[in-house]
Amino acid sequence: MREKRVSKKENVFVASRFVLPEHREMYLRIKEEERRYVPPELDQEQLSALSELVWQAFQTESILTLTYYDGREPRRLSAHIIHIDQAARRLKLRAGSEIHWVPFARLLHVELAAVF
């Protein structure tokens, strides 16, 4: 009878026996970089459209649903704009009882929430 051969992928112990800790750390760091989210670059037309919607929501006190980059991944938030800090180029938002500060440069998408 023939023995079944166990591949290195199936046997983690055999596969990792000869890997130096420095190499393992480097491999994990490279894999983390590959998974890292890179936000898209918005052109001037897209930025002006975002700015217009933000200003409209602020003026009408409408709920705004925005997608922003938090430094690791995109996040969605539905909130009221309570302050536009033009000097620091950021928005102060209220979602329920929580207050959020979102830099304008981190905005990816903005839309006015539907009102019923």
Residue 18 lies in a domain: no
Residue 38 lies in a domain: no
Residue 98 lies in a domain: yes
Sheet holding 74-85, edge to edge: 98-103, 90-95, 74-85, 63-69, 107-112
Q: Give the pLDDT score at 16.
A: 57
Q: Give the pLDDT score at 92.
A: 94
pLDDT category at 116 given cuts 50, 70, 90 is very low
Q: Terminus-to-terminus CA distance in the chain, angstroms?
A: 73
Q: Give the pLDDT score at 55.
A: 92
> Residue 12 pLDDT > 80, yes or no?
no
Residue 32 lies in a domain: no
Residue 25 lies in a domain: no
Q: What is the CATH number of the domain that holds 92?
A: 2.30.30.100
Tokens 């006015």 sit on residue: 112
pLDDT digits (tens, 9 = 90+) for 41-84: 888 998 899 899 999 999 998 899 999 988 878 899 999 999 99
Residue 69 lies in a domain: yes
Q: Give the pLDDT score at 70.
A: 85
Residue 52 lies in a domain: yes
- Could you give the number of structural domains in the chain? 1
**Average pLDDT of 21-32?**
85
- For the entire predicted model, the pTM comes to 0.63
> Residue type at 36?
R
Residue 60 lies in a domain: yes
103 is in which domain, residue-wise? 44-112
